[in-house]
Structures are given as structure tokens and as C-alpha cells.
Amino acid sequence: MTDPRLPFFLYGTLLPGGRNHGVLRGRALTWTPAELPGALLFHGPGYPYAVPDPAGEGVVHGALAAVGPEAYADVLADLDRLEEYAPGAPANLYERRRTHVRTAGGPTPAWVYFAADRTARELLLSGERVSGGRWPHSGPAAG
């Protein structure tokens, strides 16, 4: 079961100041600093990948973007297209998953785009981790 109105946890180029922020500019109602516990952040070719941490100790820093109901379907479609995600497609770049992130207000369910399984396995074996779990090109809303 999916909740079509979950906020989006963003950790890279979609954050304010990032090159893909225009996808959300004017459509996100709020930006809340947040953390994704139990994940690691890796460098990709100009963008980051979040990967579940097998040890469960990593943290990825980012922001939670809430989108209003009138724009939600369009934003979801735009993000899925940008992240090269289609439900059940074997060639996905990312997988959109419902998970919990941490905010100052406590655990919050959110959509998170994780590296697709094949890419995640490769990154865990030989990828370059982002120091501190914070994408270097993220804007001030990243916390």
C-alpha cells in the first residue's frame, strides 16, 4: 500500500541551491531539515546515491519537502522521471521507497530515492562515500 501524499526526503541536487532544484521551486510548501538513518551516501556521476547501510550506522543529511495536493501528482511524476524510476522496471537508476526519516519533530514517513539494487551493491563494494553523509552541493535547507 502506498500513501500518495508522503513528503519527499531529498539529499542532493534537488535541494535549494542544487542544479535540479527547479523541479520543486514554487511547488514545495515546506522544507524541513531531516536525516535518513541507516543509510550511506555515495558520489555518483554528478549526483549522489543513498544506499541502505548494511551495518545500520550511517546517516544521510537532507531535507523533507512537503508538496500540496494540487501539485502532488505532477511533482511525483517529475521526480520519478528525473530519478529514472518506474515501478517494477528492471533498469531503474533509483528505487523510490517509503521509509522513515528523522526531523526535529521525530520520525516521519517519506519517499526516498535509493540507488537501485544493482548500483547499491557496486557502490558498497567500490564506491566513493560522501564524507559526513552530506552532499557537498546541497543548499542551506539541508540542515
Could you say which DSSP state residue 25 is in?
T
State residue 136's pLDDT score: 81
Could you say which DSSP state residue 116 is in?
P
Domains of the chain, first to last: 8-142 (3.10.490.10)
Q: What are the DSSP calls for 67-115, one per residue?
A: E-HHHHHHHHHHHHHHTT--TT-TT-SEEEEEEEEEETTEEEEEEEEEE
State residue 82's pLDDT score: 96
State residue 137's pLDDT score: 55
pLDDT, tens only, 76-108: 999 999 999 999 999 999 999 999 999 999 999
Reference 14, options 81, 63, 85, 51; nearest CA is 63
Residues of the chain falling short of pLDDT 50: 1-2, 138-143
State residue 86's pLDDT score: 96
State residue 4's pLDDT score: 64
- Rounded Cα distance, 85 and 34, in Å: 23
**Cross-strand pairs, 61:** 35
State residue 111's pLDDT score: 97
141 C-beta neighbours (distance < 10 Å), count: 21
pTM (2 d.p.): 0.91
87 C-beta neighbours (distance < 10 Å), count: 9
Cell of 124: 558498497
Reference 60, options 34, 36, 95; nearest CA is 36
